[in-house]
Amino acid sequence: MSNVPADLRGELARTVPLSSLELEHEARASDGTEKVLLRTADGRPVESVLMRYRDGRRSLCLSSQSGCPLTCTFCATGRMKFGRNLTASEILDQALHFRRKEAVNHAVFMGMGEPLLNLDNVLAACERLPDLGITARRTAISTVGWIPGIERLAGEGPPVRLALSLHAADEALRSELMPVNDRYPLPDVLDACRAWSEARREPVFVEYLMLGGVNDRHEQAVALADALQPRAMFKVNLIPYNPTDAQFEGSSRNAVDAFRAALDAQGVRATVRLTRGRDIDAACGQLAAR
Which are the catalytic amino acids?
47, 284
**Contact of 46 with 63, CB cutoff 8 Å:** yes
Which residues have C-beta within 8 Å of that of residue 286, sequence separation ≥ 6?
76, 242, 244
Nearest to 211 by CA among 75, 108, 35, 110: 75
- CA-to-CA distance for 136 and 209, rounded, in angstroms? 25
In which region does residue 170 sit, left (phi positive, over 0), alpha (psi from -120 to 50) or beta (all else)?
beta
Distance of CA 194 to the CA centre of its chain: 20
The β-bridge relationship of strands 84-85 and 106-109 is unpaired
Kindly list the strands in the beta sheet with 21-28, ordered across the sheet, starting from the edge strand earlier in the chain. Answer: 21-28, 34-40, 45-52, 58-61, 106-109, 139-143, 161-165, 204-210, 234-240, 270-272
Is 146 in a helix, a strand, or coil? coil
Nearest to 159 by CA among 132, 126, 205: 126
**Contact of 36 with 83, CB cutoff 8 Å:** no
Q: In sequence order, which ranges of the chain are alpha helices (DSSP H)?
A: 6-15, 88-99, 119-128, 147-153, 171-177, 180-183, 186-200, 218-227, 253-265, 286-289
**Contact of 99 with 209, CB cutoff 8 Å:** no
